[in-house]
Structure 1
């Protein structure tokens, strides 16, 4: 709660009363009443009336100092700090308070001394007593003010309990060959400190939760990409803001590849069902994936299921019959193109030379199984691929009439 004008005014009044009490003390103890015989004795009368108070009677100077000290304590109750300051008990409380008390005691001692030298009819020891009293009072006032400011700030600065809600975080970097270490800053005991989020075993799973725009990708996902890529891990990254993460992942892939941190045969690939031109594509219509007619049937069934928008309920036996017929027909076409004039290839996609033999009945060329590279060395092919074994040729072939299709099949089987 901020101070109201009434509280500020009251505080100022009490602060003025402290030094007014010093003036009254000097008026009673340091000034001879015979020197105040002016204006018809009014000042002498005032001096005599105040002298009747117990704290201003002769020999009671120490009680006057105690009264001033009590007044300072009452005034400091209303002290409030206007801005946050670093609290140093030694320099802000102990030194001023101890020094002020010593100077006040010194002022009482000076008052009891007798010095012949005078200035303006007042003895030198009285002048020194007044100066020491003012300095000592100011020091004590400053010390008690600082105590009050610290207590008030300590009670009100953490009104929402931020200090108790914060706790010390890990400041040690714990790194291993699997870990992900994310630097952070946290607030503890009035300061922002540096620490580490050490995910030493990422295989146990990491759950990232946050509202849109809260910084999940920047603070968690990107460090995972950067550090796992540098440690040679294979990653599957779902980029729902394509190509944001794809660009960062490719950047780190190229850097680590140049630094020799990427494992052998590890490549960067993209699968994008929206913008297919960005995807790395593969031809599934080849002998490596379709080794027999059963595999061709599975491929055909998968293609037909993928083309259907939704499974219709309540279909009878006729629907199932026509669906099965379509699967068998497509499977036959796929198997035909997979094995028609198939050519061996190496892992880099270069065509190899297959040794051929002639069938005695049909006089058609048939592979013997032996394959050679361009230098004539016998090698093991990576895969076999039909001459027209791809989806565009299959779809074009399916658009022909049945008579043409079956005629081609018969000619091939002869």
Structure 2
């Protein structure tokens, strides 16, 4: 215990040790220069009787041993000494004092060989040795009073916020493995981001330029194609991802490659294939997807009368065409053209199908009661929205049937790319949402091929039931990857509730630089770690330093907001057969930039699937209009 008595006793021991050091130095002077002292009448019989016998002791045999003994006792006394610690003391000052002192202390021995009188040699030796002794003692006392703090060396607390990460490469037939580097206590170490269970959902986020596509999405595409996955890619900025997929598929093969592109027409596919719509609920899902995709503000108003009415209207059109002549005319272009028919003729046509009577009953009731304004409002919402899709090129792509949308059919696995254009994303996004909705219905089944669904800039399409797909498709070997820029983007386009479900249901999260609520949510999700804290208290008589540990965020929101391009934070999910203890990561993903550049230079362009001209497109456009005219005349 540090009582007053103990401190006083320690101080006495220190003082005695230093006194002993000085005493040995004085005795060394007396013995070494006894003739000089005698010549100056500075000797005494009593002193001689006490001191001269000490010359036989080992420490006084040579000058060097005597000096080393004095120095050793001085060092011991300095180690045990206490004094007010001072943060202003610099190592340079200490080194200067100690080095100069030692130099003078030991170099003084050279004066013993000088051809001078005994008195002069004694004077020079004693003065220089004593001066060196005092300098070294001053430097030593400064050394043990120096206050070494780390308070200013790590102003951003980087070292404290580092933590161990997974350094093993864990692979299986489904995994995605990204090499990375991370910092741990000031040292750079190699690590791996091991997404060993992609079927639990993947959310990739980051502001523009954070490196989502270059550092993450491209590797998901290449590794999953290499492992034999069938794939659906929503390529918002065609053909950034499609080109990667096509050229990777050329190396590995085994699957057909298709592109849905409304500007540079490649393949044709009918998202309303009558064979895939088993009951009217499928038609209702398709109608909801296309209408909410065209009117994104309706997503937050689902259930309102003037939102549900147009959806029911389009559902009735789809199901009628599905039932009419075995679904011969069941395509989205036919639905659009049928919606433009005068509602009086429309009633005559639709009342022939009993399954949709409940859907059109409110419209007929409004017509019979002469509520024409209400009826026009109900129908016009659908007409105006669908009219935006009235394009010869869209009609051409949507009315063909080059391939089916069951992309994970074991007999014919496919890689399908849905091409969008940022300048026309609102219109194209609605149609592509319909493709996604139909693919969702077909892939989430038992005994199918392993499948990967990748959505770049996910909020630009409307995917009704994405949470259900992530929650249930794991057992059916369907991996879903969603790329977003920010949580607020999801909230804007999907509503707060749906955005929260998407954010919380995915098992694997990889995020680059984001700010605001997104950064706070991620920081809380990653949890806290033990961090060392240091504080100093300085007063007039003493300086005290206290160190403690406390739990604090492993990756604070401010750090997430300042991530560099290619630097990601996140958390991975494991499975029962392959446990991962270190799930959280904060690292720099390592891309071989030169190898990727050379690979891209060798890429082939995606070949055109067909040669078409404007006449073909226009003839198809007119044929669809003629089909609807014939249906109307038949009733």
Q: Same fold (TM over 0.5)?
A: no
Higher relative contact order (CA 8 A, sep 6+): 2
Which has the larger Rg? 1
How does the TM-score come out when normalised to structure 2?
Answer: 0.31
Taking structure 1 as the reference length, the TM-score comes to: 0.45
